[in-house]
Structure 1
Amino acid sequence: MLVWIGALGSLPGKDDLKAVENPLATEVYSTDSVLLGKYFIQERSNIRYEDLPKHLIDALISTEDVRFYNHGAVDSKSVVRVIVKTIMMQQESSGGGSTLTQQLAKNLYPRKDYWMFSMLINKFREMIVASRLENVYDKNAILTLYLNTVPFGDNTFGIEAAAQRFFSTHTKDLTVDQSAVLVGMLKSTYFYNPRVFPDRSLQRRNVVLGQMEKYGKLESAAAEKFRKKQVKLAYNKITHHTGLAPYFREYIRPVLRDWCKQHTKPNGEPYNLYTDGLKIYTTIDSRLQRYAEEAVAQQMTSLQKLFLDHWGKRDPWGKQTGLLDEAIRKSDRYQKLIEEGNTHEAAIKVMKTPILMSVLTYKGEQEVMMSPVDSIKHYLKFLQAGVLAMEPRRGAIRVWVGGINHHYFQYDHVRESTRRQIGSTFKPIVYAAALEQGVEPCDFVSAARIEYSNMNGWSPENTEDNYDLKYSLTGALAYSVNTVSVRVLEQAGIDNTIALARKMGIESELPAVPSIALGAANISMIEMVRAYACLVNNGKAVEPFYITAIADQQNKVLERFKPNVNTPQAMSADNARMMVHMLKHTINEGTASGMRGRYGINNDMAGKTGTTQSNADGWFMAMTPHLVVGAWVGADDPRIRFRSTALGQGARTALPIVATMFKKINANKELGYISRAHFASLSPELESRISCDLYRSDENIFERIFGNKNEEEAEQPRTFSTRSSRTPPRDRDRKKKNGFFRRLFGKG
């Protein structure tokens, strides 16, 4: 009686039971309606009665409650056994009296502690709640509710989540023997877990098949056939790290949490990202995302092997032992040991003790005996990658790859807070600023090397011995000539260049120094993609756009989002168009020509490679009419890198990722709008302004043979100016040439 009136705790009423809601994971979808992943506390997905296979229902009823459709909430024939064995004799393991409806009541309203009367009171509570459930729902609805709430082990709740976890399939597609395995787990989700105890699971599955045969739900021949089969799992370890675009999903998580706090359900409570089954529709294209992830995996597997072979038995940090010590002290294991009261020496001793652990290698996961210190060394040697692709007109993010493996490396190399030195990928902004100041694409600038007296004798160098040439702006971009870029920065003006970078979407700190022309600044991937998208968007700034809609669990749209296309004009449309066509030369014959020759990518494409000091960062930025892609490769710690530019340059590290991605895009006919797209032709007037040689000799025939009488004057230091000028630098800064034939024929 006390239980009935709620004296020992309130019981759900009719209205409460009608509004029964299970915690549902929020699902994140791509723009082409592919499930990318979920946010959840418990992995759960609800399913309709119509999607439950008959053999699954037969297996459940035959094993758990054979009189389910014939009794009420309580099976009177089992009550006596429950009272005698379970309640009076306190033999909890004997159980056996709970109907499916009573089990559902237990799933919905977990048992409480009532001291020595816990079993008795909880049983009566479940009987009462079960009776009320049967008054609200019909049998099929109860069966569906049960299968949507029952735990199956491995943190899965509900039959749909279990089908996907253990067999990588949907409930409606389960076979008879698979259904029997899952139903068999209900007796003890851990003891009969097929992943942990396959032999026990097989025995229990056969018991379920026997029950189905016993009650006429399965013919004997069929039952015997299924009993002979082995239990074959297609285990899908569903975590927050699995699925497509895990770094992107983590990036938008706080945005979605804030949205939930600011929006309420019909009952007045704020939405919960992890339990309310929201549906998030994003701008990610699952096909492009998959191609990018595959391209990263392919390139980084081979590059990681090359990197390890490159260093051999030596540590890539060399004598910089502080780097390793710093990594050890930052590790979770070390900090936990210190928090437990261990000294540094004691903590290190523990961390040098080998233990069995799962580690990531370039060949995949491996179980090894390794000390935590050795594992830190192991992971320090890993190269990372970041890829971002944006639609340049609306700013829709189509691809987001923040690293090589989200389970092992959560650090995202795409987001705004991750800034790396960008090298020559900044040069197009310098040249665009020069065009804005009136410099012409066909103005020729000397590549001669000079020193700047007001910069402590700073003298930029080129990667090639091309100091005796003059380059047009187009040619200097194509071949990434450092000395010319610094001169172009002089003409554009540092302040003007920084101002343009800001308008194009770069918010990171930009040092007002000449080396900014060579990419000395630290800028995030997302900012760089915005800047290049601005060029494709005819000089109009582009704002990133991630989410298109948020819907409830019934797929009723709660809010729609639109891109911000009312962005300011960062630079003139004509100059933006010329910059894109100038940067085509980088792909066709410049530093990124490997796209054509090595990889056979013939898309209409412009772009720029970038390599930073000591090869710490490799970049490649690619532009097509409908997709702007940025790729970066480097170690988490920039002190770890290739020793050779031939190996560490962006053309060898980052470019192959984009090339592989476009090979896959070009092979997909559905993506022809990307692969077959062409930039609009320039007007005759603009075409004439960029039509010129890429470079030419900086000397006449007599100077080649006899030398320049003004060479001494040319080698005098000069001061760096931040002024803007339409006049190219005077052709007086030349490097001495040695040898008659060198003077005569120059550099080929």
Structure 2
Amino acid sequence: MAKKQVKKKQETPASFKTFIKWFWRVFVGGIASVILLFLLASWGALGKMPSFEFLENPQTNLASQVISADGKTLGKYYLKDNRTPVDYKDLPKDLVNALIATEDARFHDHSGIDVRGTVRAFAFLGSKGGASTISQQLARQLFVGEGSKNLPERLIQKIKEWVIATRLERQYTKEEIIAMYFNIYDFGNNADGIRSAARIYFGKEPQELQIEESAMLVGMFKNSSLFNPRRRPERVKTRRNVVLAQMYKYDYITKEVKDSLQKLPLTIDYNPESHNEGIGTYFREHLKGFLKKWTAENPKENGEKYDIYLDGLKIYTTIDSRMQEYAEEAMEEHMKKLQAEFYHQNTKKRNKNAPFAKDVEQSTIDFVMNKAIENSERWKIMKKEGKTEKEILASFDKKTPMTVFSWKGKNNRIDTIMTPRDSILYSKFFLRASFMSLEPQSGQVKAWVGGFNYRNFKYDMVKQGKRQIGSTFKPFVYATAIDQLHLSPCDSMPNGPFCIETGKYGLQEPWCPKNSDGKYEGMRTLKGALANSVNTVTARLMDKVGPANVRSLAQRLGVESEIEEVPSIALGTPDISLYEMLGAYGTFANKGVYVKPVIVTRIEDKNGTILYEFVPETKDVLSEEVAYTVVNLMEGVTQSGSGRRLRHKGANKWNKMYDEIITGYPYEFKNPIAGKTGTTQNNSDGWFIGMVPNLISGAWVGGEDRQIRFARTKYGQGASMALPIWALFMKKCYADKSLSVSDGRFEKPEEEMTINIDCSKTTSTTEENNGKDPDEDKLEGIDF
């Protein structure tokens, strides 16, 4: 009998059960591990994580801003990060749209991590795009840092990035995250953050950016080094067009707009922001000194000092950006012409001592050059390195590649090869200059130009540098005489030779000043004497009031430089800064009240809290009547004296050649102007200070050393060297009606004058100088 076949019951293979069991174990374990990993990361087990407080206030280095009186940013103070934060409301809509379309299309739909993008990135190993959200990228920029090449480390960094991104999403709104991302990114070329980038690459504020400009900057987020518009413009243009295509893809712009913008060339307006560039470079450097003192005297609540390079202060200054720009333009226009003529007159064929004057002895030249060598950076560095003096000196005679200043070079710089010794001599060929302008009623400084190129000539000749002041000191003598003796501008004095004898005022020998025109005859009114800079009349006034009283008045007018109590100060022998002189002259225009010059109105911290507000420092120095009388005297300088070329409509053919080369004639000012020129011995310094009722401006021009000068007074006098800068500046100011620079009369005192200033009935055969500038020795033809 056959065996009965029994059908076996089908059972699930043990291996499959095992698989299912392990699958769930791995799945659950994997999820648990990921959760644990995230928890460990959040607890700091995978490395330090930012605290809640730190997330609330991320510590980024913020540059301090120097802001002009008209609301423009003159420059910034920073060490590494040139960053100034911008609020979301100040970001243009197209800029935000470009970022979202390019970097994180689902930005408004996720909470820090784009799950769909992450899965896609894992599935295709990143070949179809990454998965980093804007929040993740911000977390990396703020807290995580650049990705490591080591795979385990990179994985840990990514986990920390995810954790921080979710925290940021809980802590901040989407708008705040967008703003933070724009503010933190380094766009290269010192453009840290969107505001610096907009200003540096386009010369604009962020809200002024066009769509194509916004697209270019957003394109740089991919890699600002790789997509640098200055080095790789074609690559940047291609990337910009990708961004525009993304904006079209996500319906932020139309196809027509995309097509038209993609055809545009890549155009940038590069405006580098560094301590050596931009407007107001000398002023910003001087301002550092003010801030250094202020930060030392005004610590934070916790006792720490404010750091102008890191704390994002806002320093509101008195400088008017328009006036500052006009002042710098005026100086450059004039100095180019003046320098060309100086070089022409001092070629080796004409002057073997060039750039030093012909009459300077070789021993003096050697002394000046050796002093310059010992003060050079090369000398100081090699000295620190332990080099011997012989080794150091030898290095100054070895030719080396270098970049030097040149009016004809690109950005005023040329590459050349010369010895360091020759480079020092070369730099001395360039005449130096300074200019300052202030409002006499408030003391607020409106323009400050310490030189014509801060990168190459860093010494500030507005306040740091002091030179003999020449005839611009004479108004102090006249003011003392009018104040103490109640003299009138119409009073006359002899124009004959005059000496102050030995023993008086402690003199060791007689002091007998000479008139520059060599004439000693007749009588001169005080107004005519000041207008024509008659030295003998000034000396007579000095003898009547005494050097001590003149010195005292100058000090009360704000002059802090040393002034000896000797009669010769009447002719301007003291070394005084342009800054001090303008503060003093401001007293005359401000009805006898001295107002200390001001450069900062207030300082705020990064949150807008006011830390400092200036309080004007004033004092009564002269009566209103005396001050007005001095102004009236100085008006004569521009009416019939050394400053009257301001009134000229033109000149004859011979003078026209000189005018075009040196001065920029004609100026044709018709409004009241009070002022004074100054020319020191041997034409070493040329000065001019001019005033209208609400603005005082002054200029100085001279060589780096007093031995560097024009041979002829025609070129070396203040009316030729300095006055043109003032005139060019004022013409620009008057052309800009938004500035409201006064062209009216100086205000007379309300009370009846007791000093006679109407000299129309005064007669003198020697009041006029027949068209000759009084500071000139003689007029000579131009030596071409």
**Please, what TM-score do these two structures have when normalized by structure 1?**
0.84
What is the match of residue 470 of structure 1?
A: 523
Which deviates further from its counterpart, 143-152 or 534-543?
A: 534-543
What is the match of residue 727 of structure 1?
A: none
The separation in 2 between residues aligned to 1:72 and 1:439, in whole angstroms, is 83
Root mean square deviation, CA, Å: 3.2
- Residue-by-residue CA offset, 1:255-284 (whole Å, 9 max, x unaligned): 234434555667876543233333222222
Q: Quote the offset at 1:577 in angstroms.
A: 2.5
The separation in 2 between residues aligned to 1:418 and 1:209, in whole angstroms, is 54
Out of 42, 50, 67, the residue aligned to residue 4 of structure 1 is 42
Note if 1:332 corresponds to 2:383.
no
Instruction: Tell me the amino acid that sits aligned with residue 368 of structure 1.
Output: D
Q: Compared with structure 1, are the counterparts of its residues 559 and 139 closer, same or farther at alpha carbon in structure 2 (3 Å cutoff)?
A: same
Out of 75, 83, 86, the residue aligned to residue 114 of structure 2 is 75
2:699–2:723 CA contact under 8 A, matched in 1:
yes
What is the match of residue 642 of structure 1?
A: 710
What is the match of residue 583 of structure 2?
A: 530
Q: Compared with structure 1, are the counterparts of its residues 153 and 643 closer, same or farther at alpha carbon in structure 2 (3 Å cutoff)?
A: same
2:494–2:521 CA contact under 8 A, matched in 1:
no
Out of 3, 8, 13, the residue aligned to residue 51 of structure 2 is 13
- Residue-by-residue CA offset, 1:663-710 (whole Å, 9 max, x unaligned): 223333344451224331794542268666475579xxxxxxxxxxxx
Note if 1:206 corresponds to 2:241.
yes
The separation in 2 between residues aligned to 1:54 and 1:583, in whole angstroms, is 57
What is the match of residue 638 of structure 2?
A: 587
- Residue-by-residue CA offset, 1:186-228 (whole Å, 9 max, x unaligned): 2221121010122322333334344445555555554444343
What is the match of residue 777 of structure 2?
A: none
Aligned residue for 1:276, secondary structure, equals coil
Out of 674, 699, 711, the residue aligned to residue 606 of structure 1 is 674
Instruction: Tell me the amino acid that sits aligned with residue 384 of structure 2.
Output: E
Aligned residue for 2:485, secondary structure, equals coil
Instruction: Tell me the amino acid that sits aligned with residue 446 of structure 1.
Output: N
Instruction: Tell me the amino acid that sits aligned with residue 124 of structure 1.
Output: I
Note if 1:395 corresponds to 2:440.
no
Note if 1:361 corresponds to 2:407.
yes
Aligned residue for 1:368, secondary structure, equals strand
Q: Quote the offset at 1:611 in angstroms.
A: 0.4
**Please, what TM-score do these two structures have when normalized by structure 2?**
0.80
Aligned residue for 2:319, secondary structure, equals coil
Instruction: Tell me the amino acid that sits aligned with residue 686 of structure 1.
Output: I
Structure 1 residues 435-450: aligned runs within 5 Å: 435-438=482-485, 440-441=487-488, 442-448=491-497, 450=499
The separation in 1 between residues aligned to 2:233 and 2:741, in whole angstroms, is 49
Instruction: Tell me the amino acid that sits aligned with residue 636 of structure 2.
Output: H
The separation in 1 between residues aligned to 2:385 and 2:606, in whole angstroms, is 44
- Residue-by-residue CA offset, 1:134-192 (whole Å, 9 max, x unaligned): 11123332222111111111121222221221122233333333233222222221121
The separation in 2 between residues aligned to 1:216 and 1:572, in whole angstroms, is 72
Q: Quote the offset at 1:118 in angstroms.
A: 3.7
2:144–2:157 CA contact under 8 A, matched in 1:
no
Aligned residue for 1:529, secondary structure, equals helix
Instruction: Tell me the amino acid that sits aligned with residue 667 of structure 1.
Output: A
1:447–1:471 CA contact under 8 A, matched in 2:
no
The separation in 2 between residues aligned to 1:366 and 1:268, in whole angstroms, is 45
The separation in 2 between residues aligned to 1:576 and 1:173, in whole angstroms, is 48
Instruction: Tell me the amino acid that sits aligned with residue 668 of structure 1.
Output: D
2:601–2:613 CA contact under 8 A, matched in 1:
yes
1:285–1:399 CA contact under 8 A, matched in 2:
yes
- Residue-by-residue CA offset, 1:559-578 (whole Å, 9 max, x unaligned): 4323123x1x3344433322
What is the match of residue 472 of structure 2?
A: 425
- Residue-by-residue CA offset, 1:422-468 (whole Å, 9 max, x unaligned): 01111111222223342633141333255855644553221112112
The separation in 1 between residues aligned to 2:212 and 2:120, in whole angstroms, is 31
What is the match of residue 198 of structure 2?
A: 163
Note if 1:27 corresponds to 2:65.
yes
The separation in 1 between residues aligned to 2:432 and 2:336, in whole angstroms, is 11
Q: Quote the offset at 1:609 in angstroms.
A: 0.9
Out of 574, 585, 594, the residue aligned to residue 521 of structure 1 is 574
1:396–1:563 CA contact under 8 A, matched in 2:
no
Structure 1 residues 37-436: aligned runs within 5 Å: 37-41=75-79, 42-77=81-116, 96-111=130-145, 118-213=153-248, 217=252, 219-220=254-255, 222-263=257-298, 270-313=305-348, 314=351, 315-317=354-356, 319=362, 320-344=365-389, 346-347=391-392, 352-355=398-401, 357=403, 359-361=405-407, 364-371=411-418, 372-415=420-463, 417-436=464-483
Q: Compared with structure 1, are the counterparts of its residues 393 and 175 closer, same or farther at alpha carbon in structure 2 (3 Å cutoff)?
A: closer
Which deviates further from its counterpart, 340-349 or 587-596?
A: 340-349
Q: Quote the offset at 1:235 in angstroms.
A: 0.9
Q: Quote the offset at 1:295 in angstroms.
A: 1.7
Which deviates further from its counterpart, 651-660 or 401-410?
A: 401-410
Aligned residue for 1:515, secondary structure, equals helix
Structure 2 gap segments, 5+ residues each: 1-36, 649-665, 768-784
The separation in 2 between residues aligned to 1:522 and 1:181, in whole angstroms, is 54
Instruction: Tell me the amino acid that sits aligned with residue 638 of structure 1.
Output: R
Structure 1 residues 671-710: aligned runs within 5 Å: 671-672=739-740, 674-680=742-748, 683=752, 685-687=754-756, 693=762, 695=764
Aligned residue for 2:494, secondary structure, equals strand
Which deviates further from its counterpart, 143-152 or 688-697?
A: 688-697
Structure 1 gap segments, 5+ residues each: 699-748
Structure with larger Rg? 2
Q: Quote the offset at 1:617 in angstroms.
A: 0.6
2:404–2:456 CA contact under 8 A, matched in 1:
no
Instruction: Tell me the amino acid that sits aligned with residue 19 of structure 1.
Output: N
Aligned residue for 2:264, secondary structure, equals coil
Q: Quote the offset at 1:522 in angstroms.
A: 0.6
The separation in 2 between residues aligned to 1:594 and 1:572, in whole angstroms, is 31
Q: Compared with structure 1, are the counterparts of its residues 342 and 196 closer, same or farther at alpha carbon in structure 2 (3 Å cutoff)?
A: farther
2:595–2:616 CA contact under 8 A, matched in 1:
no
Q: Compared with structure 1, are the counterparts of its residues 82 and 585 closer, same or farther at alpha carbon in structure 2 (3 Å cutoff)?
A: same
Q: Quote the offset at 1:46 in angstroms.
A: 2.4
The separation in 1 between residues aligned to 2:234 and 2:508, in whole angstroms, is 75
Q: Quote the offset at 1:554 in angstroms.
A: 4.6
Instruction: Tell me the amino acid that sits aligned with residue 278 of structure 1.
Output: L
Percent identity of paired positions between Structure 1 and Structure 2: 38
